[in-house]
Structures are given as C-alpha cells and as structure tokens.
Amino acid sequence: MVDGEAPLSNASVLVKKDSILDITTSDHYPYPEKTEVIDAGNCVIMPGLVNAHSHAAMAIFRGYADDLPLKKWLQERIFPAEALHLNPENVYWGSLLGCLEMIASGTTSFIDGYFFQDETVKAVHTSGMRALIAQGVIDYPAPGVPDPHKNLIMGKEYIERWLNWSELITPGLFCHSPITCSAETLRAAMDISMDYSLPLQIHLSETREEVNEILKNTGKRPVLIAAHSIYLDDAELRLLLLGKVRVVHVPESNMKLSSGVARISEMVSMGMRVGIGTDSCASNNNLDLFKEMDTAAKLGKVFTRNPVNMDAETVLRMATSHGAYVMGLENGIGTIEKGKKADIIVVDMNTPHLVPLYNPLSSIVYSACGSDVKDVIVNGKILMKGKEFQTLDQEEIMERVRAISLNIKS
C-alpha cells in the first residue's frame, strides 16, 4: 500500500514496537520468539483510514435533527441542543462512542473540532487512537465558553495543556466558520496556531447562503484552511493550490444537508491532496469512512458525468495518505512502508459481497463496509482483534449514551 505501487499478494507485515519493521512475501522469515500473529488469510492488510473532519462527541445527537436545511438544522436544533445538553461528561461519553464506531470501521486517525475538548482528549487517549483535537472557537456564547471574548484565551490555554502531552494526540483550534467568527477572531486564531506550529481548522464555503452573506458584509469571498469547500470559484481554487491549503471533502454530510457538491475532481486534477471526512453523526449519521469513500467516488462521477473521475485508487488515497497529509503526518502514517508507524487495519474479504476479488482497490472502495474490518492497530498497539475491542468497553459506552439520549429527547 505504497502510493503508486500495486498491492502485494501473500505478504506479511512485521511490526516492532510502534513501527513497521518489514514487509515480506517470504514463507521463511526469521520471526523473533514470542511474536504475536494476526491471521490475515483471505484478508487485505491496508493503512488505517484517516477521518479528516469530524465532531466525535456529536454522536450523542445521531438522528436528532434529520431532514433539515443547514441553517435551520444548526440554529434551531443543534445549537439549542448543545446549549442545554453539552457538558464535560456528555462530551466524554459521546467521544468514546465516536472512537468506538471509528475503530470498528477501520479509522485509526481523525481530526476533530468541538467544545469541552479536554474530555475528547481523555476519551481518545483511552481508546488508543491517533487524533488532532481542536478546541472550538465561535464569536457567541458557547458550551464551556460563556464569554465569547475569552474564546481565544481559553483556546490557547487548551493548546498549552495538551501540547506534547502524547505522541498520538495533537491539540489545535477550530474556528467554526467565517459567518460565526469575525475577521479579527480568524486572524488571531491563525496567529496562535502559527505560534505553536499547529493547523487551524474551519468550515469553509459550506452553503451558498454563507458565501452570499460574507460577500454582502465584506465584499470578499472566504478562503482559509477548509472542510467542505463547496462554493469556490476558479480563482479561489488556484489560491487554495498555491497556498497549500489542506481541503477536506465531506460528501455525505453535504448531500444530506443539501449544501451542494464540492469541485473535488478539479482539485485533484490540479494536484491538490484532498482528504475525506464524515463530519458529525448529527449531519451524516455514521462515521464509516468506507461508506464515505464509496459516496465520494460515485458523487464525483455523476456530478461531472464522467465515470473515470474519482477512481477507486484516488479515493482510497484521500482516506489514507492524503488524509495523513491533511493532518501533517504524511511522513509517519497513511501508507504501509518500512519505518512508518504501525497504523494498520485488516479487512476480511471472505464474505459474499467481496467475492470474487479482481481488483483489491476497487473492492475496498465500492464493495467493502466498515463492518468488514476485523483487526485494528494504532502505533503498534492492537485496538481491535477479531472484531473484539481491546481498549474500550462497548456495552458500557453504548448504555451511557443511551441514557444521555433520553435526557436530550425529553
């Protein structure tokens, strides 16, 4: 699974501590004593998937506000629900549920932005996943930040608490959008991010209404580090390319909220390394990147009326090596190569919907499901083996979130 190289057949991947020691097709490799073996017969061994845009704790709002336009969904349902029900405990358990779902469906790394992110850090640390976890910034009273004048002060304190705390967790800032954050806030957030050499996240040009409102208020169109990136013109696409902006495609959330279709195939043709994300369970309903890959490929084809666009290999890269690039970790994860971190998943291909197997890349993108993942390894540590979680208590987490949902529903 090195970019540009054909998949190997009958190969073994050897892991030592946190890294990939070797990749071999030999039947007589001198394995060290006490080597733990994971049987990958009739399976595909591949890099762990990278969810480049998520709000893990919003798993508590899965199905709470469906079939609404973005503005109404956000302002009349999600924001009020967050004001009433977001607290550290709920964010912790919601984040654990998000981690549980991502591990179960083959995601090993993710980028997150939300509130009460100290709790998300704790949840991710418990899970063993790798993540860039950003504190939300918005120019309105927000959960955990009642005084918006202190949003960046608290954001900076959050960064300083968790910076270099864990090899697997990186803190950061997440400005909600150019509509909810002033130009002054955006500039200050960028300055803080640059001071700590951290990426700054933002929802960018997610709806036509957002772009029109900014044009009305400022006479300018928004361009920044970007998830969604739907309503961009040709000049802005060139700016994104020249500025090495790390764009994240979020097709299922965009479709469900009828936000529009991003010009991803054009970005890819320009040479941009675009990642792929699920967004939250409140606007997508799942965190399964296998579903997201399938949707991204097919949406790209129908939108351009070209069946060659967004081919399986391109989309798989978006969910692996390009997602690693978005995280700034392309030298460490995203491909299976000797010396890289052992972030690996094993996909069981011995199931009716994956037989026969002509092209592993096509089968992974168009036929596989998250539920086909049987083993997950992050940084050399097994998080799921034979579909059994090794770090998380599935039943406790689901029961806790069910209890939370009863309060939200009432």
pLDDT of residue 29: 78
Given a contact cutoff of 8 angstroms between Cβ atoms, the answer to whether 349 and 363 are in contact is: yes
3-state secondary structure of 339: coil
Of the candidates 143, 135, 139, 181, the one whose C-alpha atom is nearest the C-alpha of residue 159 is 135
How many C-beta atoms surround the C-beta of residue 104 within 10 A?
A: 20
For residue 97, how many C-alpha atoms fall within 13 Å in the half-sphere facing its CB?
28
Which residue ranges make up each domain of the chain? 47-327
CA 167, distance to chain mean position in Å, is: 18
- Tell me the whole-structure pTM to 2 decimals: 0.94
Going from the C-alpha of 65 to that of each of 73, 136, 204, 301, the distances in angstroms are: 6, 21, 22, 29
Cα–Cα dist 78/55, whole Å: 13
Which parts of 257-393 fold into alpha helices (H)?
Answer: 264-269, 289-304, 312-318, 321-327, 360-366
Amino acid at 226: A
DSSP one-letter string for 155-218 = HHHHHHHHTTS-SSEEEEEEE--TTTS-HHHHHHHHHHHHHTT--EEEEES-SHHHHHHHHHHH
Of the candidates 223, 303, 311, 210, the one whose C-alpha atom is nearest the C-alpha of residue 263 is 303
Which pair of tokens denotes residue 294? 């399938």
- Judge: domain 47-327, CATH 3.20.20.140: yes
Going from the C-alpha of 2 to that of each of 5, 9, 154, 281, the distances in angstroms are: 6, 14, 40, 31
Contacts of 127 (CB under 8 A, 6+ apart): 96, 99, 100, 103, 383, 391, 392
Cα–Cα dist 327/291, whole Å: 21
Cα–Cα dist 123/166, whole Å: 13
Given a contact cutoff of 8 angstroms between Cβ atoms, the answer to whether 116 and 144 are in contact is: yes
Cα–Cα dist 216/321, whole Å: 38
pLDDT of residue 1: 54
Write out the H or E segment, with its range, that includes residue 346.
strand 344-348
How many C-beta atoms surround the C-beta of residue 8 within 10 A?
A: 15
For tokens 């955990």, name the residue. 144
Which pair of tokens denotes residue 31? 């394995």
According to DSSP, residue 81 is labeled H
Contacts of 295 (CB under 8 A, 6+ apart): 251, 252, 255
Which pair of tokens denotes residue 160? 């300083």
pLDDT of residue 217: 60
Which pair of tokens denotes residue 391? 């770090």
pLDDT, tens digit only, all 410 positions of the chain: 566 678 899 999 999 999 999 999 887 778 777 889 999 999 999 999 999 999 999 999 999 999 988 788 988 999 899 999 999 999 999 999 999 999 999 999 999 999 999 999 999 999 999 999 999 999 999 999 999 999 999 999 999 999 999 999 999 999 988 788 998 999 899 899 989 999 999 987 545 564 455 445 656 443 355 788 888 889 989 988 887 889 999 999 999 999 899 999 999 999 999 999 999 999 999 999 999 999 999 999 999 999 999 999 999 999 999 999 999 999 999 999 999 999 999 999 999 999 999 999 999 999 999 999 999 999 999 999 999 999 999 999 999 999 999 999 86
CA 359, distance to chain mean position in Å, is: 26
Q: Cis bond leading into 352, ω under 30°?
A: no
Of the candidates 336, 343, 331, 330, the one whose C-alpha atom is nearest the C-alpha of residue 379 is 343
Q: How many helices (H) and strands (E) does the chain have?
A: 15, 15
CA end-to-end distance (rounded Å), the chain: 48
